[in-house]
A and B are shown apart, each in its own frame.
Chain A
Amino acid sequence: MTGPARGGAFQAERLIGRLLTGITYVSVGLLVIGVLLLMATGTSPTSGGPRFDPGRLLPDVLSLRPAGFLWLGLVAVIAAPVSRVTVALLSYVRARDWLMAGVSTAILVVIAIAVGSAVVTTA
């Protein structure tokens, strides 16, 4: 790898590293709020939480229900690696590294297939 390309790769890695760290901190913050609310309401963690319902996220958060913050945090956790691949894809396209851009795209396609198959089999 040449000097400028190496510098660009290092910069991308630093950016992706910070992105992962940032999303993780946000998700942990949301989970901490959710757990504190859980404890404040005296709810046992083993009592069984509600299923994921995207339509309930905002109302639950606005009503300061633990499930809203917990689900928001968990969705952020799952989104973190996908975001990392998306940022890597943009970095590779910018660097005209078509091989790695293709690999990044293929990873996102596989994840999309997983989401699609889960939704289809549940419906």
Chain B
Amino acid sequence: MIVGLWMMGGGAAAGVFGSLLGLGGGILIVPLLTLGFGLPLREAVGVSLVSVMMTSSAAAGVYLERHVANLRLGMTLELFTAIGALVGGSIAFLLDERLLSLLFSALLGYVAFTMIRARTRDSIQGVESPAIDAEPDDGPPPRPTLLDRLGGDGYQVRNLGRGVIGALGAGVASALLGIGGGIIKVPLMHLAMGVPLRVATATSNLMIGITAAASAVIYLVHGGIDPYVAGPTGIGVFVGATAGSRLGHRVDLRYLRLLFVVVLGYTAIQMLLRAVQ
């Protein structure tokens, strides 16, 4: 009984962080279950995938009702994260896990460094729109481009190509490492595509569900999810994610960014240790 309560508590902590940062919490759940409860890595990954889906659904539901998440952009990108997850699942057993850990650690370190250097700006201000207003008044109304249709209030999406490639990479990483991929998708949308951080976080939460769904189905069919562990952990994640999504709009973006960098740095060190041990 005590073990179950500890699992719930750990899941709640992971859920709060996952929701606030758009991470899904998988990065925290896998070490929690392996280091804290002695579960095999594979089982921890299976439980983590289900838990990040709960984080995604709980938080994304709130974000969508408040119109913070960008549904069109999220669905466009999650098509590619799902394809990436399929590809990643296919090559998962061909690559050395230590090499993957090393590469991932370098990626996380780079993203953390980039976010520290990112110019501080009011996220909701977003990116300037292209010169659509320059069209002559008497001509036909300009046909909205795909990027126009993917944008939101006060910002326009750019670099869709980079977003697609990044989403494919996030899907591959998700399938290989058992994470939701938000740790890649949030900076991708925010830094490369010009999406405000708060919208990027909410949209990432939305996308994590489908990204993890493909992998979770495979784990389910192959017996990689333990219901006795997934139950208490999932309940904890739900409670934490719900609290996190309701706190999200009250948290100062500067602190959110700082928190994100701290988590990126911590995860980078963990991955590096995993690679060299």
Q: Encode A4-29 as 1/0 by CB contact (under 8 A) with B.
A: 00000110111011111101100110
User: Can you identify 15 A-B contacts, CB atoms within 8 angstroms?
Assistant: A13-B67, A21-B65, A27-B234, A35-B235, A44-B228, A73-B234, A84-B209, A100-B75, A110-B82, A114-B85, A114-B215, A117-B86, A118-B217, A118-B220, A118-B222
Number of interface residues, chain A, beta carbon within 8 A: 64
Docked complex Cα distance between A71 and B76 (Å): 31
Q: Is A20's CB under 8 angstroms from B227's CB?
A: no
Q: Is A35's CB under 8 angstroms from B232's CB?
A: yes
CB-based nearest A residue for B49: A78
Interfacial residues of chain A within 78-113, with CB under 8 A of chain B in the complex: 78, 80-82, 84-85, 88, 99-100, 103-104, 106-107, 110-111, 113
CB-based nearest B residue for A70: B227
CB-based nearest B residue for A80: B57
**Does chain B have a CB within 8 A of A48?**
yes
Q: Is B38's CB under 8 angstroms from A31's CB?
A: no
CB-based nearest A residue for B65: A17
Q: Is B210's CB under 8 angstroms from A111's CB?
A: yes
Q: Is A100's CB under 8 angstroms from B72's CB?
A: yes
Which B residues touch A104, using CB under 8 A?
A: 75
Docked complex Cα distance between A59 and B222 (Å): 22
- Which residue of A23, A31, A43 is within 8 Å of B234 (Cβ)? A31
CB of B112 to closest CB in A, whole Å: 28
Docked complex Cα distance between A81 and B1 (Å): 31
B contact patch SS: helix
Q: Is A77's CB under 8 angstroms from B210's CB?
A: no
Docked complex Cα distance between A103 and B76 (Å): 6
Q: Is A39's CB under 8 angstroms from B231's CB?
A: no
- Which residue of B4, B217, B230 is within 8 Å of A115 (Cβ)? B217
CB-based nearest A residue for B3: A45
Q: Is A122's CB under 8 angstroms from B222's CB?
A: yes
Q: Is A111's CB under 8 angstroms from B61's CB?
A: no
- Which residue of B63, B218, B227 is within 8 Å of A50 (Cβ)? B227
Q: Is B79's CB under 8 angstroms from A107's CB?
A: yes
Q: Is A82's CB under 8 angstroms from B58's CB?
A: no
Q: Is A78's CB under 8 angstroms from B216's CB?
A: yes
Docked complex Cα distance between A106 and B75 (Å): 10
Docked complex Cα distance between A9 and B150 (Å): 12
Interfacial residues of chain B within 31-52, with CB under 8 A of chain A in the complex: 37-39, 50
CB of B211 to closest CB in A, whole Å: 9
Q: Encode B224-240 as 1/0 by CB contact (under 8 A) with A.
A: 01111111101100100
- Which residue of B217, B223, B230 is within 8 Å of A70 (Cβ)? B230
CB-based nearest B residue for A119: B221
Which A residues touch B216, using CB under 8 A?
A: 78
A contact patch SS: helix
Q: Is A17's CB under 8 angstroms from B64's CB?
A: yes
**Does chain A have a CB within 8 A of B102?**
no
Which B residues touch A73, using CB under 8 A?
A: 231, 234
Docked complex Cα distance between A90 and B217 (Å): 24
Q: Is A10's CB under 8 angstroms from B210's CB?
A: no
- Which residue of B64, B86, B226 is within 8 Å of A113 (Cβ)? B86
Q: Is B213's CB under 8 angstroms from A45's CB?
A: no
Highest count of chain A CB atoms <10 Å: which of B61, B67, B85: B61
| Shortest 5 CB-CB contacts between residues of A and residues of B | A81-B209, A17-B64, A21-B61, A20-B61, A17-B65
Q: Beyond A49-B226, A88-B75, is A24–B54 a contact (Cβ under 8 Å)?
A: yes
CB of A84 to closest CB in B, whole Å: 7
Docked complex Cα distance between A1 and B64 (Å): 18
Which B residues touch A14, using CB under 8 A?
A: 64-65
